[in-house]
Amino acid sequence: MTDDHPHAEWSGVMFAMLRDAGIKLFCYIPDAGNDRLVSLAEADNETRAVLLTSEEEGLAVCAGADLVGERGILCMQSSGVGNCPNYLSLAGGGGFPLLMMITMRGDYGEQNPWQYPMGKAVEPILEALDVLTFKVQHRDDLEKSTLAVLNATSKGAQSGAIILSQKFLGAKRF
């Protein structure tokens, strides 16, 4: 892995925090924002990357891991949150402490009109289904937000999502 990947630095920091907190399964739909994080999970002997066909599968995979005392994370783009609501019943209703990492489209600097509806709906959907949100707007937020979402989900018995904004990630150019 080369260090010139645009997300190399923070992805390395976040991956180490997640792995050290015992997150084993990194379920994902590929996105430019989670590309390096998933590569790190694939390369590490303690973790495993699980390629999904649709995002909601990852919530069920993580719930299955929880049943035997293991932890997983669902990594997806904001549009994928729209595929998740029914399975988020596992959070509020089932008490599964689900963990998500969402890379935003349709917010700061977005040029693609197709991305705005789901971009705006991410937080209302998560709030409606009892998932806490922890935003990263600036590089300084990353460790604090990652620690907060890990505390909430690993220890606090909550479901939580860390949301990486486009202000932090940079908007895609068209």
Binding site for another protein (CB under 8 A): 24-25, 48, 50-54, 56-70, 72, 86-87, 89-90, 93-96
Helix H or strand E segment including 120: helix 116-128
Q: In this structure, are residues 21 and 48 in contact, taking their beta carbons and an 8 Å threshold? A: no
Shortest distance, CB of residue 174 to another protein, whole angstroms? 28
Q: Which of 35, 49, 172 is nearest to 108 (CA)?
A: 172
Q: Which is nearer to another protein, 86 or 112 (CB)?
A: 86
Q: Which is nearer to another protein, 12 or 92 (CB)?
A: 92
Q: Which is nearer to another protein, 12 or 85 (CB)?
A: 85
Shortest distance, CB of residue 21 to another protein, whole angstroms? 16
Q: Which is nearer to another protein, 2 or 53 (CB)?
A: 53
- Residue 142 corresponds to which tokens in the numbers above? 């990353």
Helix H or strand E segment including 27: strand 23-28
Shortest distance, CB of residue 93 to another protein, whole angstroms? 5
Shortest distance, CB of residue 46 to another protein, whole angstroms? 13
- Dist CA 114 CA 110 (whole Å): 10
Shortest distance, CB of residue 52 to another protein, whole angstroms? 5
- Dist CA 65 CA 147 (whole Å): 21
Q: In this structure, are residues 37 and 19 in contact, taking their beta carbons and an 8 Å threshold? A: no
Q: Which is nearer to another protein, 6 or 95 (CB)?
A: 95
- Dist CA 63 CA 46 (whole Å): 19
